[in-house]
Amino acid sequence: MAGRECYHCKQPIEPGEPHDCWTTTERALTQDLSEDLSDAWERLREVAVSFGDQRIYASHNSVMFSRRSCYFFVRPKRSFLEVCVFLGRTLKARQVRRVDRASKTKVAHIIQIRHRDEVEPPVTGWLLEAYELSDVLSARAATKGAKRNPQPPARTKRKTARKIAAVGRSKRR
């Protein structure tokens, strides 16, 4: 019996052979980088690791750096490293290629890194700011969740009471 071809990665798959083309590793994403990009990648990773406890993992075509949520990620490209940093404010700097609102509290900044020398202040400062912001936002979310009142507001109770009363009146008629 002939094998099949993965519709995503177009690789041949033999019958019974396990295949998961979405599973990738940091090494697989960075192994084909040029020498300059490889040096820049190593510097980026070493700066991020110096911040403290975090999780670094590969996902699809990016390497993610996260505490409770991702605070920045790197997409290795052929001629540059695309770095996306999540901050609580909008940056106006020549290094920032694009800015997108990621959520109510986070703004995504796209930066292109082509050489190890570009992984210096202010870029390293932005990465540290994103690392610290991640902790602050997680703490806010935890306290916000703890303060939630499981009962609906009084206004909703009144509306429900009116509806019940109206149904009762219509049945009596």
List, in order of start, the domains of the chain with CATH numbers.
Answer: 23-166 (3.30.1460)
* pLDDT tier at 146, thresholds 50, 70, 90: low
* pLDDT tier at 74, thresholds 50, 70, 90: very high
Model confidence pLDDT, tens digit, residues 75-131: 999 999 999 999 999 999 999 999 999 999 999 999 999 999 999 999 999 999 999
* The pLDDT of residue 53: 95
61 phi/psi in degrees, rounded to 5: -115, 25
CB burial string 67-106: b at 16+ within 10 A, e below:
beebbbbbebeeebbbbbbbbeeeeeeeebeeeeeeeeeb
Range of lowest pLDDT (11-15, 22-26, 37-41, 43-47): 22-26
* The pLDDT of residue 24: 78
Q: Which of 55-59, 112-116, 154-158 has the highest mean pLDDT?
A: 112-116
* pLDDT tier at 64, thresholds 50, 70, 90: very high
State the amino acid at position 49 in one-letter form.
V
As a residue count, the chain comes to: 173
- Prediction pTM value: 0.72
Model confidence pLDDT, tens digit, residues 2-32: 788 877 677 788 888 877 766 678 998 999 9
